Amino acid sequence: MPQTFSRFDTLVIKLILLALIALAAIAVAVARWRMTYQIDLQTFPSQPIPFSHKHHVSDDGIDCRYCHTSVEKSSFAGIPSTKICLTCHSQLFKDAAALAPLHESARTGKPIEWVRVHDLPDFVYFDHSIHVHKGVGCIECHGRVDQMPLMTRVAPLTMQWCLECHRDPAEHLHAPDRVFSMEPPQARNAAERDALARFYHVQSTRRLTDCSTCHR
């Protein structure tokens, strides 16, 4: 009896079946992740030092970029080094018990192990620099950190949440001199929103919603 399929055909069929099984496994894993993924909003992770953004930003008027030094030039905003903290705290409150981990870090050279509050999955690519250069203010993702005695997460940072902005960025854009401001933007009419979109060259959202933009 002649063979129905050649060896090549059989190999192709096996490869297709393996690909379908792999896709099914990925789909199941993603579905389970979406069902079990917990978004910890309004919680306050325990930190080595109870750092207050409210005090440093609102009371002392420190700009975001003083501590987050790479936010304008890198995908990472950057966590302030011990040296940056000591520009003030080598003199101010240097004997405070709460700052003991800071001085221990300076003595040993071991960085302070801060707990990330905004932590995206490893399969998501996010670049701080492109967002701030395109007029997306810190407040859009991080909220009013100038009113937070302890840092907490106010946005879910889910795919759908990000896509809402990518599909209509004009609603979330700030003038260049307001990107790092903690004041909520004033209500803008359609013409003002369109003007900001043209200024930042984001009138077209096709590239913003491509899969490869965030998944590389």
Please provide the DSSP assignment of 166-193 as one string.
HHSGGGGB--GGGTT--SPPPP--HHHH
Q: Are residues 27 and 121 in the same domain?
A: no
The number of distinct structural domains making up the chain is: 2
**Mean pLDDT to the nearest integer, 183-200:** 89
Mean residue pLDDT of the chain comes to 89
Compute the C-alpha angle 213/63/70, nearest 5°. 40
Claim to verify: residue 73 and residue 177 sit in the same structural domain: yes
Q: Judge whether 45 lies within some domain.
A: no
Residue 156 belongs to some domain of the structure = yes
199 and 157 within one domain: yes
Whether 112 maps to a domain, the answer reads no
Residues 170 and 197 sit within 8 Å (Cβ to Cβ): yes
Residues 175 and 127 in one domain: yes
Percent of the chain clearing pLDDT 90 (strictly above):
73
Does residue 98 fall inside a structural domain? no
Q: Are residues 73 and 179 in the same domain?
A: yes
* Structural domain of 21: 1-37
Whether residue 57 lies inside any domain: the answer is no
pLDDT at 35: 47
Read off the pLDDT band of 208 (50, 70, 90): very high
Which comes out higher in pLDDT, residue 2 or 8?
8
pLDDT tier for residue 109 given thresholds of 50, 70 and 90: very high
17 belongs to a structural domain: yes
Q: How far is CA 185 from CA 18, 123, 132, 143, in A?
A: 52, 32, 15, 12
CA angle 41, 44, 45 (to 5 degrees): 110
Residues 73 and 171 both lie in one domain: yes
Query: Does the residue 85 lie in any domain?
Result: no
Phi/psi region, residue 61 (left: phi>0; alpha: psi -120 to 50; beta: rest), is: left
Please give the backbone phi and psi of residue 173, each rounded to the nearest 5 degrees, phi first: -90, 145
* Alpha carbons 64 and 75: distance in angstroms, whole number: 15
Does this model's pTM top 0.85? no
What is the model's pLDDT at position 8?
Answer: 77
pLDDT, one tens digit per residue, over 31-84 is 565 544 556 677 888 999 999 999 999 999 999 999 999 999 999 999 999 999
Q: Do 8 and 73 have their domain in common?
A: no
Indicate if 73 and 5 belong to the same structural domain.
no
User: In the predicted model, is pLDDT for residue 1 greater than 60?
Assistant: no
pLDDT bin (cut points 50, 70, 90) of residue 30 is: low
Could you say which DSSP state residue 207 is in?
Answer: G
